[in-house]
A and B are shown apart, each in its own frame.
Chain A
């Protein structure tokens, strides 16, 4: 078993020329993304990635590809997801990898892959990049789940290629990347058929797969290439992407990693290992606000909102994967409130008509969603010199608690201004959570009057006492109390059960309606994580550990 201590540090850096498992070919409006897994290319030793099966390393490349297609290839209007291997699309997550992995590794792996699949759907829905799964061979388990994230699923009709979710019958676990949810929610497969499908290890092929709505179309082998090209062209034709758009380049992130933290240009994390926490600071914009959208394109990845979002995304992923024992994240911002609002206005003004600005907004939305499903205690500290304004205020609202200093710290000079919050239109729906609500809408769920009242406060600087009255912060201690209140609160937090906290926070963060996306995290993932720790899956005689040994799993037959 791998443990957190012998787990290698995971990096999420990659780019197409470094891919080991994917081939990306852009031809005009159509991109082909072909899975071609290097069996010997596992991210950790101990298993071979046979049958086009994947691990975290494969998914890191897939995530990179989804991002580059959106930012570097605005000309792409349809993405064909297929396999470079003959008669085998993808066998899903590698079983030996799962069997040897620690529980946190499995959970993190599933969370990240889920986020990437949600990102694929987001590209289809919001970027005019329609993803089409072209299953040129069998898609099993996670392989079929990858296809489910696409808008259309085409299956080759060769009398042997099938789609299947064999996790339950073969492995004693669930299809953990949204399979069960998408089959019924998105593809509207009848529940009894879904039940048969998810317990039949060989899956379903041919006409039945279409009849059961598991795929959209089966295509004979002879017509395969042509049909796939046609479907892609048709999808591209429906795209809203502008013609002649020039992509921007996403250069490698510059970061300095030390034992005590990670420093990027606009984001910084300092580790306080003894206290089990990390202090994250997001720095507000520097330099001139672009006066035209052309200037935004010129700046490209250097445009502060995008640069900051990329860094924050990378930081969240690294902390989640590599720093399991830093259980509390303190979130601060630092910068000028006016500048933050000025940059935000650029986003708000152009996100409708400029593809890049639109991409940036959706990217920030996805990163905020990552924060929402992060199993760490998130605490926002709002101090003088911070810039929780508009979009950046979402960072605070994503946190489990918000503490705002009233007035100044005694030792500070009394110059400058006390801590302030500013609401903007962005806080009322521009960055929805997975439940479809804004963070304010979630915070004041069922209380539309308050939300409406807050809407009238947009643009105004709100200081601590008022923020407290408006319900925007948890507490607003003054300089006399601040240090003690914060210290005691953090120490108290650190003494609580990490598992109970994860469960509690996940429950509190998502109120109200469920969406397919929220159900994947709240229901599917929660059940999966329970099953993962049960002996029937991960015990020495459990199905996951016995898979491929020639021996049958020995189940504890009690239903729980």
Chain B
């Protein structure tokens, strides 16, 4: 098959002049489309009001139109190159960044890219049935926007594998389509990406907490000495911000509607009235936050230290940090459990880089909580939502194997299990949320468990026909 490269695949990587890339993409693209058709959104649509990136500049990035989803123009974009860029950290700090993969780091870089790339299609797979229960056309459109952008992020990672990792890279790109979320034989690499996203509350939580993990991972790769990776991630971060917006405002609207129902019926027990009680929202927060913290890996990590020293993966906003960016002589304090006590310990800073990134993430997450609590405050509701302790419900890292309550008490396993249903979503909670999930496809209408958005997309009104059905 032949592809009109500049038209079909918007790009700023000179695809038309790069035979190697063309060949790689020519064999990969049909497989991607097959994957999209079988594993992508399950609801049939005629077209969707989507944003397509057609260039890296401000205008090129925000190009809106109704498009048929399988004709979406997944593009390949890297942020503009800074020809003076130098390695900002690690052993080779100050040397020019790499435009090619150094053989010494091929395996590590490929692994980092594959892991990142694997999460992108995974979330599309996890969310594929959500469209069947969308609370409004506006939300349905947002879901699809997130999906096509995750698809584009997959393209971005595949581009790197194709352009820089030779035959091996092509095989890995192929494998990204062969693993599937929840597949028993060939699951996605990270555990969290093998769980189906069963309802819209989970979707908003996912886009708030789990996509935010993605944002921080991309932030560290943006610092990479491997310049094409850095530039790819920089551009991806812009799109990731939209996913976070979907999560933040989604939870906003669930909370706002809950407050509304609570006042209307003068009770916290709004489930019978078709709302999602704040207790349940809190439990969903507890769950998604703790699962997302696990994605950072162990707080103490020699891998992270090696990646940093080699220049592969920096810290969040590395260049704004005021230290030597080498960290061989620095120390960091991490929380841990010792002798049955929650305590802290000083460890070499290099070994605590995952912890460092996780801390940045935690303070970012807090801003959402403030925001949702403001919604409650404004609505005159006294109840507040909180982030649980970082050690709560952890299965990876220094807290795994310990039992820590949301408020940060170290307790025994029995005590913890006895309270589990008060902290994490129960079957009954999930069932209730699920019963609320009924599709609302009529323009301007919205489901009863969620408030309408304050603004539409691209200045369009809420009742705009964001999605056309066949």
Contacts and interface: CB of A to CB of B under 8 A. Distances in A.
Interface of A: 410, 475, 477, 480-481, 484-485, 487-495
Given A480-B19, A480-B20, A491 B164 contact: no
A480 B23 CA distance: 9
Contacts of A481: 20, 166-167
B470 interface: no
Contacts of A489: 103
Contact of B103 (A477, A480, A495): A495
A147 to B, nearest CB: 48
Contacts of A475: 167
A493 B104 CA distance: 8
Given A480-B23, A487-B100, A492 B166 contact: no
A488 B167 contact: no
Interface string B91-132: 000000000111110110000000000000000000000000
Q: 4 shortest A-B CB distances, which residue pairs?
A: A491-B103, A495-B104, A492-B103, A480-B20
A545 B106 CA distance: 44
Contacts of B106: 488, 491-492
A487 B103 CA distance: 7
Contact of A490 (B100, B103, B164): B103
A49 to B, nearest CB: 44
8 contacts: A477-B167, A480-B20, A487-B103, A488-B101, A488-B106, A492-B104, A492-B107, A495-B104
A409 to B, nearest CB: 12
B16 to A, nearest CB: 15
A491 B166 contact: no
B460 to A, nearest CB: 45
A485 B167 contact: yes
A410 B23 CA distance: 14
A508 to B, nearest CB: 20
Nearest to B23: A480
B349 to A, nearest CB: 25
Interface string B286-318: 000000000000000000000000000000000
Q: Which of B23, B102, B103, B164 has the most CB of A within 10 A?
A: B103
Nearest to B102: A491
Contact of A484 (B19, B102, B107, B164): B164
Nearest to B22: A480
Contacts of A480: 19-20, 23
A494 B20 contact: no
Interface in B1-54: 19-20, 23
Interface of B: 19-20, 23, 100-104, 106-107, 164-167
A495 B102 CA distance: 10
Contacts of B104: 491-492, 494-495
A377 to B, nearest CB: 12
A410 B167 CA distance: 18
A401 to B, nearest CB: 14
A485 B166 contact: yes
A475 B107 CA distance: 18
Contact of B166 (A410, A488, A495): A488
B164 to A, nearest CB: 7
Contacts of B19: 410, 480
A47 to B, nearest CB: 41
Given A477-B167, A480-B19, A488-B106, 20 more contacts: A410-B19, A480-B20, A480-B23, A481-B167, A484-B100, A484-B164, A484-B166, A485-B166, A488-B101, A488-B103, A489-B103, A491-B102, A491-B104, A491-B106, A492-B107, A494-B103, A494-B104, A495-B102, A495-B103, A495-B104
Nearest to A495: B104
A101 B360 CA distance: 55
A487 B106 CA distance: 11
Contacts of B102: 491, 495
Contacts of B167: 475, 477, 481, 485
Contacts of B103: 487-495
A274 to B, nearest CB: 13
B149 to A, nearest CB: 29
A488 B102 CA distance: 7
Q: Which of A475, A485, A488 has the most CB of B within 10 A?
A: A488
Nearest to B101: A488
A485 B165 CA distance: 8
Nearest to A480: B20
A408 to B, nearest CB: 13
Nearest to A489: B103
A489 B101 CA distance: 11
A537 B104 CA distance: 35
B166 A477 contact: yes
Q: Which of A410, A491, A493 has the most CB of B within 10 A?
A: A491
Contacts of B164: 484
A159 B100 CA distance: 73
A105 B104 CA distance: 28
Contacts of A491: 102-104, 106
A477 B168 CA distance: 11
Nearest to B110: A488
A477 B171 CA distance: 14
A485 B170 CA distance: 12
Contacts of A484: 100, 164, 166
A480 B101 CA distance: 16
A80 to B, nearest CB: 54
Contacts of A495: 102-104
A475 B166 CA distance: 12
A332 B403 CA distance: 63
Contacts of B20: 480-481
A477 B166 CA distance: 9
A289 to B, nearest CB: 40
Nearest to B164: A484
A50 B306 CA distance: 53
A488 B23 CA distance: 20
A488 B169 CA distance: 12
A484 to B, nearest CB: 5
Contacts of B165: 488
A484 B170 CA distance: 13
A400 B23 CA distance: 30
A178 B57 CA distance: 72
Nearest to A496: B104
A60 B165 CA distance: 46
B159 to A, nearest CB: 15
Contacts of A477: 166-167
A488 B106 CA distance: 7
A5 B164 CA distance: 37
A477 B101 CA distance: 18
B278 to A, nearest CB: 54
Nearest to A482: B166
A127 to B, nearest CB: 45
A491 B108 CA distance: 14
A494 B106 CA distance: 12
Q: Which of B23, B164, B166, B167 has the most CB of A within 10 A?
A: B166
Nearest to A475: B167
A411 to B, nearest CB: 12
A372 B103 CA distance: 26
A477 B167 CA distance: 8
B228 to A, nearest CB: 13
A410 B164 CA distance: 18
A489 B19 CA distance: 21
Contacts of A492: 103-104, 106-107
A354 B283 CA distance: 91
B20 to A, nearest CB: 4
Contacts of A490: 103
Nearest to A491: B103
Q: Which of B23, B100, B164, B167 has the most CB of A within 10 A?
A: B167
Nearest to A488: B103
Contacts of A487: 100, 103
A410 B18 CA distance: 12
